[in-house]
C-alpha cells in the first residue's frame, strides 16, 4: 500500500458518493481531505432541451396571468429560465412571474429567483415544501393560477391540496430523474456497503436515497443495507429534507445545518474520525488507527479492510499475544468458513502495508501475534 505523507481528517476512510449532479465537486472536496471515494451515481438528470412536458407547462403559464409561482430549487429555477430563453419565451416568462407572488423554498431557490431579476414574496425559514403549502392554504385560492416548479420528483400531493381549494395548478417538471447510466457501479457500491468496506454514504437528494433502497431491494440486499446504515456505515445527507427517507425508516442520518456541499464534507470530517479513531502509545511513538489507515510518525499507511481489522484487534490489547484463532474471530465475520492460514496471510500483507513500521507486529512462536508495546 502507498504511504501518504500528509494525512487529512478523512484519511483511511472510504466514502460512497451517490450524486449525479456536482459529483466531481463533491468527490474533489472529499479527496482533498484524504478520503478514498467510490463514485456510483444512483440516478441521472434528464436533459431539458427537448423536454416537451416542460415546454407545454411553460406555454400554459404564459396563456394567462399567474397569481403565484413556487420556486423549489435553485438549479430547477435556473434551468426553467434558461430553457425558456432557448425557446424565445424568456422575457414573457419573466414578465408573467413578475406579476405573480413568487414563493421560494430556501436560500438557493431565493438566490436563483433574485438572479433572474425577480423578488420573492415569501420564503420559509426552513427548506420545507410543507411550509410553502401552509402559507398558500391560508389564502383564498379559488380561481387562482399557481405554477409549481418541481424538483426531480412530482409534487402530486402538494398540487392536489391546492386544487382541492379551487386553484388551477400548473406543474412545471424542470428536470426529472432517470435510472443511472452505470447500474453496475450501484451494485458494487451496495456490495461494498453491506460488507462494511465503505465507512459513509453521502446523499444530496431524497430521490437518490429512494433509488438506492430500491436497487438494494432488487438485489436482495435491502435488509443488509439497512443493517449497515444502522451500525457501521454513516449516512450523511445535505439537508433534513434529503434525509427524510432515511429518518422515516428510523435510520440515524446526519446532516449539516446549512444545505451546502462544503458543509456536508465538513460534517463528515468532524464525525467519521470520532467513530473509529484510536490512539495507541507504543515504544516512544503513537500509532493512530483511523478507518483503514495506520498513522505513525506523521505518515499514513492505507490498509486493506481485513488488515485494518487485524491491526485494530491487536491494538485493543497492545503487548498481549493473540492467537490465530482469536484474531480469526475478531477480524473475520465469516470465521466459520476461514482457517488460521488466512490469518498468517493477512498479517504478511499488513506488514507489507506498514513498510518501515512492520516490526510493530511481532510474531510469538507457537502462540500468535502481538503489537509491540515497548
Share of the chain above pLDDT 70, in %: 95
CA of 226: how far to CAs of 190, 201, 208, 308, in Å?
Answer: 11, 12, 15, 24
Residue 46 has pLDDT above 90, yes or no: no
- First-to-last alpha carbon distance for the chain, in angstroms, is 25
Is residue 340 helix, strand or coil? Answer: helix
Which residues partner with 172 through β-bridges?
A: 149
Q: What is the mean pLDDT of residues 209-235?
A: 95
Q: Is 367 helix (H, G, I), strand (E, B) or coil?
A: coil
Give CATH for domain 3-43+180-275: 3.40.50.10090
Residue-wise pLDDT tens digits, 178-209: 889 999 999 999 999 999 999 999 999 888 99
What percentage of the chain reaches a pLDDT higher than 90?
63
Find out whether 228 and 201 touch, Cβ atoms under 8 Å: no
What was the pLDDT predicted at 3? 39
- What dihedral angle (degrees, nearest 10) is formed by the CA atoms of 343, 346, 348, 353? -150
Cβ pair 81, 102 in contact under 8 A: no
Give the residue from 293, 314, 280, 198 showing the smallest Cα distance to 1. Answer: 293
pLDDT attached to residue 2: 41
pTM of the predicted model, to two decimals? 0.73
At 190, list the grid cell. Answer: 451496495
| Banded model confidence at residue 48, pLDDT cuts 50, 70, 90 | low
**In this predicted structure, what is the pLDDT of residue 100?**
97
pLDDT confidence of 1, banded at 50, 70, 90? very low
Structurally, at CATH architecture level, domain 277-371 sits in Orthogonal Bundle (1.10)
**Mean pLDDT of all residues in 230-256:** 92
Burial, 113: exposed, middle or buried (Cβ in 10 Å; 0-12, 13-18, 19+)?
Answer: buried
pLDDT for residue 206: 86
pLDDT per residue as tens digits for the range 324-335:
988 988 888 765
Nearest CA among 239, 253, 241, 246 for reference residue 212 = 246
Task: State the number of CA atoms in the 13 A half-sphere of 258 facing the CB.
Answer: 8
Torsion of CA 117, 122, 128, 134, to 10 degrees: -140
CATH architecture of the domain with residue range 52-178? 3-Layer(aba) Sandwich (3.40)
What local confidence, expressed as pLDDT, does residue 166 receive?
97
Q: Indicate the domain borders of the chain.
A: 3-43+180-275, 52-178, 277-371
Whether residue 359 contacts residue 344, with contact meaning beta carbons closer than 8 Å, is answered with no
Helical spans, DSSP H, in the chain: 23-32, 52-62, 74-86, 90-98, 106-115, 129-137, 156-164, 183-194, 206-218, 222-230, 240-247, 261-276, 305-316, 324-331, 340-354
pLDDT in tens, 284-301: 788 889 989 998 877 889
pLDDT category of residue 337 using cuts at 50, 70 and 90: low
Domain 3-43+180-275 and domain 277-371, same fold? Reply is no
Please list the alpha-helical segments (H only) found in 277-320: 305-316
Measure the CA–CA gap between 225 and 193, rounded to whole angstroms: 7
Which DSSP symbol is given to 125? S
Triad 96, 97, 103: Cα angle to 5°: 155
**CB-count exposure of residue 64 (10 Å: 0-12, 13-18, 19+):** exposed
pLDDT in tens, 51-71: 788 999 999 999 999 999 999
Q: What is the rounded CA–CA span in Å between residue 236 and residue 253?
A: 6
Give the chain's mean pLDDT.
90
Amino acid at each position: 500500500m502507498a504511504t501518504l505523507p500528509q494525512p487529512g481528517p478523512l484519511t483511511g476512510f472510504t466514502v460512497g458518493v451517490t450524486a449525479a449532479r456536482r459529483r466531481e465537486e463533491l468527490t474533489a472536496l472529499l479527496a482533498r481531505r484524504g478520503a478514498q471515494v467510490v463514485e456510483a451515481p444512483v440516478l441521472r438528470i434528464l436533459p431539458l432541451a427537448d423536454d416537451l412536458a416542460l415546454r407545454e407547462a411553460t406555454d400554459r403559464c404564459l396563456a394567462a396571468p399567474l397569481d403565484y409561482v413556487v420556486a423549489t430549487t435553485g438549479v430547477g429555477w435556473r434551468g426553467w429560465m434558461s430553457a425558456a430563453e432557448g425557446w424565445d419565451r424568456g422575457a414573457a416568462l419573466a414578465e408573467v412571474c413578475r406579476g405573480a407572488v413568487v414563493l421560494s423554498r430556501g436560500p438557493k431557490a431565493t438566490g436563483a429567483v433574485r438572479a433572474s431579476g425577480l423578488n420573492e414574496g415569501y420564503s420559509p425559514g426552513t427548506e420545507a415544501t410543507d411550509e410553502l403549502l401552509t402559507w398558500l392554504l391560508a389564502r383564498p385560492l379559488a380561481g387562482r393560477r399557481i405554477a409549481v416548479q418541481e424538483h426531480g420528483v412530482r409534487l402530486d400531493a402538494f398540487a392536489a391540496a391546492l386544487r382541492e381549494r379551487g386553484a388551477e395548478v400548473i406543474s412545471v417538471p424542470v428536470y426529472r430523474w432517470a435510472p443511472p447510466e452505470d447500474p453496475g457501479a450501484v451494485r458494487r457500491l451496495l456490495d461494498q456497503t453491506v460488507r462494511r468496506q465503505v465507512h459513509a454514504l453521502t446523499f444530496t437528494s431524497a430521490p437518490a436515497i429512494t433509488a438506492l433502497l430500491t436497487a438494494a431491494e432488487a438485489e436482495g440486499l435491502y435488509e443488509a443495507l439497512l443493517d449497515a446504515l444502522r451500525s457501521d456505515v454513516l449516512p450523511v445527507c445535505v439537508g433534513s429534507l434529503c434525509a427524510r427517507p432515511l429518518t422515516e425508516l428510523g435510520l440515524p442520518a446526519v446532516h449539516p445545518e446549512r444545505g451546502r456541499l462544503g458543509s456536508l464534507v465538513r460534517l463528515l470530517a468532524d464525525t467519521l474520525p470520532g467513530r473509529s479513531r484510536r490512539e495507541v502509545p507504543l515504544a516512544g511513538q503513537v500509532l493512530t488507527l483511523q478507518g483503514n489507515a495506520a498513522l505513525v510518525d506523521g505518515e499514513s499507511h492505507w490498509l486493506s479492510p481485513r488488515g485494518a481489522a487485524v491491526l485494530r484487534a491487536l491494538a485493543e490489547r497492545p503487548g498481549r499475544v493473540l492467537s490465530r484463532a482469536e484474531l480469526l474471530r475478531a477480524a473475520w465475520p465469516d470465521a466459520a468458513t476461514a482457517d488460521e492460514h488466512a490469518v498468517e496471510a493477512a498479517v504478511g500483507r499488513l506488514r507489507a502495508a506498514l513498510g518501515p513500521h512492520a516490526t510493530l507486529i511481532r510474531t510469538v512462536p507457537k502462540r500468535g501475534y502481538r503489537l509491540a508495546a515497548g
